[in-house]
Amino acid sequence: MNRQSQFSYDCNACGRCCRDKVITLAPYDVLKIARAAGVSTGEAVRRFTLRRGSILKFGADGACVALAGTRCAIHDGRPLACRLYPLGVERDSASHGERFVMLEPVPGSLGVYGGDGTVGGFLEAQDADEHLEANDRYRGLIRRMRVRVADLIDFEKIEPREFWRRATREALAESAYDPNPLIDALFDPDGLVGHRDDDEAEMFVHIAALAVKIGKTTEPDMLAAAAVMLAVSLGYSPAEAIGI
Interface mask (CB under 6 A) for ligand SF4, residues 64-93, using x and -?
x-xx----x-x---xx--x-----------
The smaller minimum CB distance to ligand SF4, of residues 76 and 159, is found at 76
Cα–Cα separations (whole angstroms), residue 26 to 10, 11, 117: 25, 24, 28
- Of 74 and 224, the one with the shorter C-beta distance to ligand SF4 is 74
Cis peptide before 86 (omega within 30 of 0): yes
Least CB distance to ligand SF4 at residue 212 (A): 31
Nearer to ligand SF4, 51 or 78 (CB): 78
> Looking only at residues 42 through 61 of this chain, which bind ligand SF4 when binding is defined by CB under 6 A?
none
Residue 38 Cβ vs ligand SF4, minimum distance, rounded to whole Å: 15
**Residue closer to ligand SF4 (CB basis): 19 or 213:** 19
CA dist 223 and 238 (Å) reads 13
Residue 74 vs 134, nearer CB to ligand SF4: 74
Show the site string, 12-41: x = touches ligand SF4 by CB under 6 A, - = not. Answer: ------x-----------------------
Write out the binding residues for ligand SF4, residues 149-208 only, by CB under 6 A.
Answer: none
Q: Are 202 and 107 in contact (CB under 8 A)?
A: no
Query: Least distance in Å: CB of 5 to ligand SF4?
Result: 23
As a whole number of angstroms, the distance between CA 18 and CA 202 comes to: 28
List of E strands, 60-135 = 67-68, 71-72, 87-92, 97-102, 112-118
Cα–Cα nearest to 226, from 201, 176, 213: 213
Cα separation, 49 vs 65, in Å, equals 9
The answer, yes or no, to whether the previous bond of 160 is cis (omega within 30 of 0) is: no
Give least dist CB 104 to ligand SF4, A: 16
Separation of CA 84 from chain center: 13
CB 79 to ligand SF4: min, Å = 6
If DSSP codes are grouped into helix, strand and coil, which group holds residue 176? coil
Number of residues that bind ligand SF4 (CB under 6 A): 9
Residues within the interface to ligand SF4 (CB under 6 A)? 18, 64, 66-67, 72, 74, 78-79, 82
